[in-house]
Structure 1
Amino acid sequence: MIYTITFNPAVDLVIQVPNCQLGALNRSKGEEYVAGGKGINISVVLKRLGVDNISTGFLGGFTGKFIEEFLEKEGVITHFISVDGTTRINVKVKGEVETEINAAGATVDTKKFQQLVRYLEDHLQEEDIVFLAGNAAPGLDETSYVEIAKLCHARGVKLVLDTTKTSLLACLPYQPFMIKPNQHELEELFGVNIKTQDEIIHYAFQLQKKGACNVLVSCGSEGAFLVSETGEVFASNVPTGKLINSVGAGDSMLAAFMAKFIKTSDYKESLKQGAAAGSATAFSIGIATKTIINTLLSKIEIRKIQH
C-alpha cells in the first residue's frame, strides 16, 4: 500500500486581488478554497493517476472536516488522527505578485503523534511506499521525521521525503528512496548560491552520498533534474503556459513521478510524467487533473546528461 503523511495540513484560501495595496481595503475578484498540504496534494495526484493510497496525518476543527471530505470525494482513503484546535488556513494572494501567508497550525502532542506511529507499525509491510511531505506541525520537530524514517528503513518500506532542511538532513542516514528539494532548498542545504546546471547535479550527488537513493531537484521555469540511484542524470524542460498557481506544483511532480515509477521502474518516463504534472498544476487553480497532465506529456522533453 501507499501512504501519504501530512503533519500540518491546510486549507488554502486563494484570493485574486489585482493591484493589492498594503494598508488599504482590497476587494477580491474571486476566491477558491483548496485542501492543501504536501501529503494531501500528493494523495490527490496519485489517485487521479489511478494509484490507490491512504492519506494520514493530523486534522482538527471545521477545516479538518473540509479536507477529509475533499479527499473522500476524490476517492482517497483517509485515516487521520484528530487533534485539538483547528487545521490552519493559509492565504494565497494572487495579484501582480504572488503573496503567501501561512498559518502555524494546530499543535500535535506526543500522545497524538504516537497514535500515528502505532498505526504505521500495525500496517506497514515490506515494499510499501510512504510519502512524508511538508513541514512539522507545532509540537513536532525533526525527531518526529526521524522516527518514521527509522521505521520505514527497518520495515523495508520506500520513504519518499520532501521537507525542510533540518528534518531532511536528519533522515538521510535512513536511506530515503527519494528526496525532492527545489533549487532554493538545495542552496539552503549547502549554504551556497547555485548558478549552473553542473552545480545542481554536483550537490544532488552530495545528498546521495549522505544517504538518499534518488534526488529530484525542481527548478521552476528551468525544469527539473534527477540523479538516480543507478548514477544516471536526467533533465526535463518546462512547457509553455500561463502560471496561475505554483502551490502544489512540486508535490504534483513528485507524486506523478512515483505513480509512473511504481508501474515501470523507468526513470526517464517517470520524470517525463512528473514534469508534466508539475507544470499542469502550475497552470491550474488547485491540483491538476489527469487530462491536463496527459495533454502536457507530449510537450515534455527528457535528456540524459553525461557527467
Structure 2
Amino acid sequence: MIYSVTLNPSIDFIVRVKDFKEGETNRAYADEFYAGGKGIMVSKLLKNVGTDCINLGFLGGFTGKFIELNLDKLNIKHDFIQVEDNTRINVKLKSSKETEINCKGPTVSKEAIDNFLDKISNIKKEDFVILSGSVPVGLGTDFYTTIMEILNKNKINFTLDSSGEAFKKSLEYKPFLVKPNKDEISEFAKKKLESKDEIINFVRKNLLEKAHHVIVSMGGEGALYIAKDYVLFASALKGNLVNSVGAGDSVVAGFVDSMLKGSSVEEAFRFAVACGTATAFSEDIGELKFIEELKNKLIIERM
C-alpha cells in the first residue's frame, strides 16, 4: 500500500478573472473548489492511474469536512487525524498572471501529533510512504525528520518532496526518490546552476550517494533523470499551461507507482514526465487516457 502524507492540506479555491486590477473590485467569471495539498494531489494522480493510496495528515473544521467529502466522492482512501482549527484555504487567482495566496494552516495539539505518529509507526515494511508539502504551525521544522526516523527504523521506503532544510535533512535517510526543481537544486548548491551539465555534475557529486533516484525538473526545458553512468533527458512537450498546481506531485506519484509495478527506470521516468505534463495541461490532475497519449509523444534522450 502507498501512503501519502499531507501534513497541511487545503481547499484550493480557484478564482478566474479576465483582467485583474489590484486595488479595485474584480468580478470573477468562474470559480472552483478542490481538495488540495501536495500529498492529496499525489493520491489523485494515483487514483487516476488505478492505484489505491491512503491519505494521512491533519484535518479540521468545515473545510476539513469538505476535503473528506471530496475524497470520498473520488473513492480515495483517507485516515486523517482531526484537529480543532479549520483546515486552510489557499486562493489561486488566475488572470493574465497566476497569483497564489497560501495560508498557514491550523495549530496541531500534542495529542493529535502522538496519534499521527502512531499511524506512521504502524505502517508495514512492504508499504511505501510519499511525504510532501508544508508543515502546520507548531509542528516545527524538524517534524519531517521525526517521521523519517520512524520510517528508517522500520525499513520503509519513502520519498520526500520538499525544499530547503527538510530536503537537506531527508538525504541523511537515503530516500527512494528526490525531485528538486532547478531553483531548489540551486538553493541546495548555494549557487546558480543554469545548464544541464552544471546540474548533472552537481547531482553526481552531491546527491547520488544519498538518494536511490534523482529527477530534476527543468520547467519549460524538460526534466532530467540522473544516474552514475547515464542521464535521461525528456524535452518538454509544447502545449497550453493550464494548471501549475500538482504537476510536480504528479511526477513523483507517476515515478513511484511505475517503479513499484516493476517498470524499468526509463519507462518509469517517461511515465512520470507524462503524468506531470498531463496535469500541467489539465484543469485538475491528469487523467490516464491523456497521460498515455502524452507518454507516446515524449522523446527521451539517453546521455
TM-score bracket for this pair, using the shorter chain length: over 0.9
**How much does 1:296 deviate?**
1.0
State the match for 1:278 in structure 2.
276
Q: State how far apart, in whole Å, the 1-side matches of 2:171 and 2:113 are.
A: 21
- In structure 1, the residue corresponding to 2:66 is in which secondary structure? helix
Provide the C-alpha distance between the structure 2 equivalents of 1:271 and 1:142, rounded to a whole number of angstroms.
31
Q: How does 1:181-200 map to 2 (within 5 A)?
A: 181-200=180-199
- Aligned partner of 1:35 in structure 2 is 35
Match of 1:245 in 2: 243
User: Structure 1 residues 116 and 65, CA, compared in 2 at 3 Å: closer, same or farther?
Assistant: same
Residue 103 (structure 1) shift: 0.6
- Paired with 2:32 and 2:246, the residues of 1 have a C-alpha distance of 14
Q: 1:118 corresponds to which residue?
A: 118
The unaligned stretches of length 5 or more in structure 2 are none
Aligned to 2:207: 208
Match of 1:257 in 2: 255
Q: Is contact 1:172-1:210 (8 Å) kept?
A: no
Structure 1 residues 210 and 7, CA, compared in 2 at 3 Å: closer, same or farther? farther
Call closer, same or farther: CA 1:107–1:175 in 2, change over 3 Å: same
- 1:96 alignment partner in structure 2: 96
How far off is 1:209 after superposition?
A: 5.0
Distance in 2 separating the partners of 1:151 and 1:205:
28
Secondary structure of the 1:24 match is coil
Find the residue that maps to 1:22 and give its secondary structure.
coil
1:7–1:136: 8 Å Cα contact kept in structure 2? yes
Query: What is the RMSD of the two structures over their aligned residues, measured on CA atoms?
Result: 1.4
Aligned residues, how many?
303
CA contact (8 A) 2:120 2:151 kept: no
Q: CA deviation at 1:256?
A: 1.0
Aligned counterparts of 1:277 and 1:195: Cα–Cα separation in 2? 25
Q: What are the equivalent positions in structure 2 for 1:119-158 lying under 5 Å apart?
A: 119-122=119-122, 124-158=123-157
Given that residues 121 and 151 in structure 2 are in contact (C-alpha distance below 8 angstroms), is that contact kept between their aligned partners in structure 1? no
Change (3 A) 1:210 1:102: farther
- Using the size of structure 1 for normalisation, the TM-score is 0.94
1:7-56 superposed Cα distances (whole Å, 9 cap, x missing partner): 10111111111221110111111111111111000011111111111111
Structure 1: distance between partners of 2:206 and 2:79: 32
1:4 aligns with 2:4: yes
Displacement after TM superposition at 1:273 (Å): 0.8
In the superposition, the TM-score normalised over structure 2's length comes to 0.96
- 1:55-70 aligned at under 5 Å gives the runs 55-70=55-70
In structure 1, list runs of 5 or more residues that go unmatched.
Answer: none
Percent sequence identity is: 38
What letter matches 1:234 in structure 2? Answer: L
Question: Which amino acid in the other structure matches residue 286 of structure 2?
Answer: A
Partner residue, 2:299: 301
